[in-house]
Amino acid sequence: MEYMILIHSDESDEMPSPGTPEFDAMMGEWAAYNQRLIDGGHWVAGASLQPTVTATVVRTQPGAASTITDGPFIESKEQLGGFYLVTADDLDQAIELAEGIPVPGASLEVRPVAFRPDAD
Amino acid sequence: MPGVAYRRSLVSPDPLTRLAREDSGRVLALLARRFGVGPAEEAVQDALAEAARVWPERGVPMNPPAWLMTVAKRKAIDRLRREASARRRTRDAAFDSQVAGSDTADAADAWAVDDGDGDTMTVDEQHISDDQLRLMLLCCHPALDRDTQVALTLRLVGGLTTPEIAAAFLVAEATLAQRIVRAKRKIRDAGIPLSIPADLDGRLDSLLSVLYLVFNEGYLSRGGASDGAAVRVDLADEAIRLTALVAALVPDHAETDGLLALELFHRARSHTRLDDAGDLVLLERQDRSQWDGAVIRDGNAVLARALRRMQPGPYQLQAVIASHHANARAAADTDWPAITVLYAQLVAMTGSPVIRLNHAISVAMADGPLAGLALLNDIGGLDSYHLLHATRGELLARAGDIAGARAEFERALRFTDNPAERRHLERRRLDPTV
């Protein structure tokens, strides 16, 4: 089964600056996690997103022009910061994979994929 | 199955109800392994519906559980054949073609299941137990909300019907039916597995709290027999039965026995909780000769079994407290100082405000009302809990502050709809003297 893991966390949390040893350590953790997904045959896709200040919201309506505004979609303390698309045997395995994501404090939504056009 | 014989106050249910409650869960569990929870549940329900139609004409079969297994299995297979979608596992296809010839209900091989190796084997007790445990644990998966966990456990494991569950919880039947449909859909679509979880202890905690919730719902029975509804399933007895089942399936888990003992001690007293008018009778006034001595002895045995495992926990602590009451011949014999120590441990273990309240009450019983009142003032989070105010009322009355007591009973009335509780509080408010 395929699952999407949506990573929501507080953007205002302290992040190490690029070039610092803490930054390298953090990137190392992410690289290791990604490799674990690949090695385990779970990796389908994944990406981190630019912060919500860069977001734009397009609201469409049938028969009318769409409205375009400065984002994000919902104002909330925790924002969508990245995602993974994984293959897992069942929900419990997907949850286990989600728990391994090296983000200090996050709300991870784990939702099964209904249909992916580019799936094998 | 090892376990505790508990006393039913109700007349034995009819054979079909007994089959649903005592055997359908096991059959469902076995079929779920092969066909998935949703299809297994439908097959069992269809088979029970067939029994309801056919048994009155043809009579009750010699071996009802075997009958159910055979008929439900056949219906599950028929359903698979009807569905056009591809099988996920070739093993199912092999099972399918091998079973095609064995349609006759033969009591001897009714528990036989083909495991894909080519020979038919009889499922032994251990396999049934593992499947049943997996099903119980599935019902309490954290991806399902608490109301759904309760409904699913009673339905899939307890074998209660949707109308029975809805009536017992005073919920509309349509609401409950929808809840179960959504749950089965989520189990299928999100891939909630039938398996022993890595965190078995955590899942067992959930299962036990579901069962305790069911027990309390039955024990405190909001409407009571006089509410005009058709005879409601005794949820307290159902909870005891299912807790005993968990204890049998997971024998080395002390807290399960702790919960079972706690439920039994409460159950032993349930006849004396309300008087003939349906009014509350406080513990110290209950007629102890009416307490069920046999159930108390069962509780004692189960508690002893739990404590021997040296795995302390909150249910066991509550059970020890309950055993103090249950085994005291008269209210005056109650060892309140010992109980305050136990409650203090429970407070340390759980931090629960309700337990702090109970601790305060026990301190009042041991050291006088003023000591209890002092503790009450330190409890946060219970301002809308009627028992906090009622307790304060009782202690103020015992300390001689009648006006203060009256105000507290007044306050308590704002926070409960339960008719028996309200009548009790009204009486106390009118005359707070002890």
Task: Supply the CATH number for residue A53's domain.
Answer: 3.30.70.1060
> Which chain A residues have a beta carbon less than 8 Å from that of B191?
1, 88-91, 94, 112
- Whether A109 contacts chain B with CB within 8 A: no
> Which chain B residues have a beta carbon less than 8 Å from that of A2?
none
Contact B78, B35 (CB under 8 A): no
* C-alpha distances out from residue B163 to B1, B236, B322, Å: 29, 17, 33
pTM exceeds cut of 0.90? no
- Domain housing A15: 2-112
Distance of CA B344 to the CA centre of its chain: 27
Check residue B41 and give left, alpha or beta (phi > 0: left; psi -120 to 50: alpha): alpha
Residue contact A94–B198, C-beta within 8 A: no
Question: Which residues of chain B from 125 to 164 reach within 8 Å of chain A, CB to CB?
Answer: 141, 143
User: Residue B143: which of A89, A91, A96 has the nearest Cβ?
Assistant: A91
Residues β-bridged to residue A106: A9
CA-based torsion, B60, B65, B67, B73: positive or negative: positive
Residue contact A112–B143, C-beta within 8 A: no
At B366, list the tokens. Answer: 């041991």
Which of B33, B195, B196, B199 is the best residue to mutate to test the A interface, defined by the most A CB atoms within 10 Å of its own CB? B195
User: Residue B195: which of A1, A88, A92 has the nearest Cβ?
Assistant: A92
pLDDT, position B101? 38
Structure confidence at residue A63 as a pLDDT band (50, 70, 90): very high
Which of A86, A87, A90, A92 is the best residue to mutate to test the B interface, defined by the most B CB atoms within 10 Å of its own CB? A92
Residue contact A91–B190, C-beta within 8 A: yes
Contact A110, A3 (CB under 8 A): yes
pLDDT, position B113? 43
Residue contact B195–A90, C-beta within 8 A: yes
- Whether B289 contacts chain A with CB within 8 A: no
**CA distance to partner chain B, nearest, from residue A12 (Å):** 29
Q: Could you tell me where the beta strands, DSSP code E, fall in B314-367?
A: none
Distance of CA B403 to the CA centre of its chain: 41
Residue B266: name the closest of B248, B239, B305, B285 by CA: B239
Residue contact B197–A92, C-beta within 8 A: yes
**Helix (H), strand (E) counts: chain A:** 2, 6
ipTM of the assembly? 0.90
**Is A117 domain-assigned?**
no
Which of B189, B194, B199 is the best residue to mutate to test the A interface, defined by the most A CB atoms within 10 Å of its own CB? B189
* C-alpha distances out from residue A28 to A6, A21, A38, A82, B294, Å: 21, 10, 15, 17, 64
Amino acid at B185: R
**Is A118 domain-assigned?**
no
Contact A26, A104 (CB under 8 A): no
Total domain count for chain A?
1
pLDDT, position A16? 87
Please give the DSSP secondary-structure letter assigned to residue B86. P
Residue B156: name the closest of B197, B115, B187 by CA: B187
Residue contact B191–A91, C-beta within 8 A: yes
* C-alpha distances out from residue B245 to A50, B26, B351, B358, Å: 52, 11, 29, 30
**CA distance to partner chain A, nearest, from residue B195 (Å):** 9
Residue contact B193–A91, C-beta within 8 A: yes
**Is A101 domain-assigned?**
yes
At B373, list the tokens. Answer: 């009142």
> How far apart are the C-alpha atoms of B67 and B74, rounded to whole Å?
11
Q: How many CB pairs under 8 A join A and B?
A: 25
pLDDT, position B360? 96
Residue of higher predicted confidence among B40 and A120: B40
> How far apart are the C-alpha atoms of B63 and B173, rounded to whole Å?
32
- Work out the end-to-end distance of chain A between its first and last CA atoms, rounded to an integer number of angstroms: 12
Per-residue model confidence as pLDDT tens for chain B (434 residues): 334 445 443 446 788 988 998 899 999 999 998 899 999 999 999 999 999 999 999 999 999 999 999 999 999 998 888 875 555 555 455 555 444 433 333 333 334 444 443 333 345 566 678 899 999 999 999 999 999 999 999 999 999 999 999 988 889 999 999 999 999 999 999 999 999 999 999 999 999 999 999 998 888 764 444 444 445 668 888 999 999 999 999 988 999 999 999 999 999 988 888 777 777 788 888 889 889 999 999 999 999 999 999 999 999 999 999 999 999 999 999 999 999 999 999 999 999 999 999 999 999 999 999 999 999 999 989 999 999 999 999 999 999 999 999 999 999 999 998 888 898 899 999 999 87
Residue contact B192–A91, C-beta within 8 A: yes
> Which chain A residues have a beta carbon less than 8 Å from that of B143?
91
Residue contact A112–B189, C-beta within 8 A: yes
By CA distance, what is B193's nearest residue in A? Answer: A90
At B193, list the tokens. Answer: 């597995």
Which of A90, A108, A113, A115 is the best residue to mutate to test the B interface, defined by the most B CB atoms within 10 Å of its own CB? A90
Bridge-based pairing of strands A2-10 and A64-70 is: unpaired
Residue contact A90–B191, C-beta within 8 A: yes
- Work out the end-to-end distance of chain B between its first and last CA atoms, rounded to an integer number of angstroms: 49
> Which chain A residues have a beta carbon less than 8 Å from that of B198?
92, 96
Percent of chain A with pLDDT over 70: 100
Residue of higher predicted confidence among B273 and A5: A5
* C-alpha distances out from residue B287 to A110, B265, B271, B275, B336, Å: 54, 15, 9, 10, 19
Long-range contacts of B110-119 (CB under 8 A, 24+ apart): B110/B63, B110/B65, B110/B66, B110/B67, B110/B69, B110/B70, B111/B66, B111/B69, B113/B30, B113/B34, B116/B91
Residue contact B193–A1, C-beta within 8 A: no
> How far apart are the C-alpha atoms of B175 and B167, rounded to whole Å?
11
- Whether A80 contacts chain B with CB within 8 A: no
Answer yes or no: is pLDDT of A101 > 50. yes
**CA distance to partner chain B, nearest, from residue A1 (Å):** 8
**Is A120 domain-assigned?**
no
Residue contact B198–A92, C-beta within 8 A: yes
Contact B234, B241 (CB under 8 A): no
Contact B383, B412 (CB under 8 A): no
> Which chain A residues have a beta carbon less than 8 Å from that of B203?
none
Contact B408, B399 (CB under 8 A): no
